[in-house]
Amino acid sequence: MFRVMLVEDDARLAALVIEYLDGYEFKVDLVTRGDTALAHFHASSPDVVVLDLMLPGLDGMVVCRQIRDVSKVPVLILTAREDSYDEVSALEQGADDFVNKPVQPRVLLARLRALLRRAQPIPASLQSDGTQDLAFGALQISRGDRTVQWRGQSVVLSNTEFKMLLVLAEAAGQVLSRDAILKKLRGIEFDGLDRSIDNVISRLRRRFDDADSEKIKTVWGEGYLFSPSTWI
């Protein structure tokens, strides 16, 4: 049984989501205000968060950032706003997925299951050797406890961000195509339209002061390259 924290002030939608998910492997805890969401998060320790953007008390973007500052728990944004800027902003704040309303319950269920699969411990296929740590200059990545240190400070990453960083770091000095990255992360092939990789790369660059794309390089027409000598 997985615990979902649903942050949603639309009573009708919340009731629909709770009723549907209750028939599967989920127990839903409902929060109706943004300004109480973080306290409830700490109290309930959910496995995944479904978060509306337009909330009373505190905007969902702020709530997403608050959660991401303290946890790697998957966050799915659910919103009626139809602005692509909101999607980009939510992903940059650390959200793992983004679904527009109205959403079909079975689609939401599939997205939640996918997020939870991706949040599972790093599979053996991503652990290329027996060591637990990777180090590149001021960057340290621990496979064992899934922590990252950058210039002596802990960096809180989402599960997706951590896995992406690990995939890139383990292939340091090599160009990885989007297809290769997606296969390692999700076991699927790149369809030419999926922008999730680009969004996660963008978030990693922001977290590691890589505005010039020197640490994680874009090799046009080929993919991405983790440069091992630039993490100083």
- CATH of residue 166's domain is 1.10.10.10
- Among residues of the chain, what percentage have pLDDT more than 70? 86
Domain range holding 90? 2-118
Co-location of 35 and 104 in the same domain: yes
- CATH of residue 64's domain is 3.40.50.2300
pLDDT single digits (tens) 10-20: 999 999 999 99
Domain boundary among 91, 118, 145: 118
Indicate whether 121 pLDDT > 60. Answer: no
Co-location of 144 and 187 in the same domain: yes
Residues 6+ apart with CB under 8 A from 12: none
Query: What is the model's pLDDT at position 126?
Result: 44
- Name the region of 221 (left: φ>0; alpha: ψ -120 to 50; beta: rest): left
Domain boundary among 118, 150, 168: 118
Indicate whether 82 pLDDT > 70. Answer: no
Distance CA 37, CA 26 (A): 19
Query: What is the model's pLDDT at position 33?
Result: 96
Query: What is the model's pLDDT at position 117?
Result: 75
Helix (H, G, I), strand (E, B) or coil at 132: coil
Residue 167 lies in a domain: yes
pLDDT single digits (tens) 127-161: 444 456 898 888 999 988 888 999 888 898 888 88
Type of residue numbered 197: I
Residue 231 lies in a domain: no
pLDDT single digits (tens) 15-47: 999 999 988 889 999 999 999 999 999 999 999
Residue 125 lies in a domain: no
Q: How many CB atoms lie within 10 A of CB 1?
A: 7
Co-location of 85 and 9 in the same domain: yes
- Bridge partners (DSSP) of residue 75 are 49
- Name the region of 135 (left: φ>0; alpha: ψ -120 to 50; beta: rest): beta
In sign, the C-alpha dihedral spanning 46, 62, 182, 184 is negative
- Bridge partners (DSSP) of residue 82 are none
Q: Please, what is the average pLDDT of the chain? A: 84
pLDDT single digits (tens) 46-58: 999 999 998 999 9
Q: How many CB atoms lie within 10 A of CB 31?
A: 25
Helix (H, G, I), strand (E, B) or coil at 178: helix
